[in-house]
Amino acid sequence: MQIKEIENLPTESLFELANSIREENYRNIVTYSPKVFIPLTKLCLDRCGYCTFAEPPARLEFPYMDPEEVLKVARAGKQAGCHEALFTLGERPELRYPTAEEWLTSRGYSSTVDYLVAMSKLVLEETGLLPHANAGALYYEELLALKDVSASQGMMLESIVPDLDCHRNSPDKTPERRISTLKNAGELKIPFTTGILVGIGESRSSRIESLKVIAEIQRTYGHIQEVIVQNFLPKTGTAMH
């Protein structure tokens, strides 16, 4: 069945169709991997209108988690039965905040991604947890560096709409940058998680087009391990509230 044939189906019919596809391909099997979150830094270059994760330097005691803190969290996760270490972080904060650049430089790191590579390697070697790097829109060389120290990587496509108001102050959220990251990860055969956001100003048709872009990339490279469809509701303290 083609996309055009199902676009206007009633919701219940869509549920039934989706269920039949799942049953045919995966039956009722659900897989999961317990993971511990390691928020390496909450500083971020981008200023997305919906974000509740990023913080300015004035609200943080330190720009980044230090290696000892990273290991403390990872070991606690290991003891709790986790298998993965999910590194979450803002995108390229050193390009926006001098404090971030100074912190990295004083410790011998050229960028946030460079530090992430080092911390992923540390966690892998010291705890055996499998790092998953969720570092946003990355270039080929950065993806390659992380590939050696992580089991998988991820970045939400979010939307292919180029002029969403919530992204007007977010240089790394252009569709071109994020699609390029997905394709580069495919060329490198990196298991990759991606997805879309629902409710940030996009239309129903653009959601479908965004998913079609992901599907086409998957058909070409075969590396996408998970597609998240994440709903959004405005949160207090954000520009979209």
- Residue 6 is predicted with a pLDDT of 80
- Among 10-19, 43-52, 122-131, 137-146, whose mean pLDDT is lowest? 10-19
- Mean pLDDT of all residues in 47-57: 95
Q: What is the pLDDT of residues 203-235, one digit of tens each?
A: 988 999 999 999 999 999 999 999 999 998 888
Q: What is the mean pLDDT of residues 127-152?
A: 98
Work out the percent of the chain whose per-residue pLDDT is above 70. Answer: 99
| Mean pLDDT score of the chain | 95
Token couple for 32? 């999961």
The alpha carbon dihedral of 134, 139, 142, 147 has a sign of positive
> Pairing mode, if any, of strands 130-134 and 152-154?
parallel
Of 204 and 124, which is predicted with more confidence? 124
Looking at 3.40.50.880, 1.10.150.130, 1.10.443.10, 3.20.20.70, the CATH number of the domain 33-231 comes to 3.20.20.70
| Opening angle at CA 124, ends 123 and 127, nearest 5 | 70
Q: Residues in the chain, how many?
A: 241
The pLDDT of residue 3 = 72
Q: Angle 115-185-47 (CA atoms, 0-180°, nearest 5)?
A: 60
- For the cut 90, the answer to whether the pLDDT of residue 4 exceeds it is no
66 vs 6, higher pLDDT: 66
pLDDT category at 5 given cuts 50, 70, 90 is confident
Cα-trace Rg, the chain: 19
Predicted local distance difference test score (pLDDT) of residue 1: 64
Alpha helix ranges (H) inside the chain: 3-6, 11-26, 67-79, 98-106, 112-127, 140-147, 175-187, 204-221
Highest average pLDDT, of 22-26, 31-35, 108-112, comes from 108-112
Q: For residue 60, what pLDDT is reported? A: 97
Per-domain boundaries in the chain = 33-231
Write down the pLDDT at residue 7: 76
pLDDT band at 66 (very low <50, low <70, confident <90, very high): very high
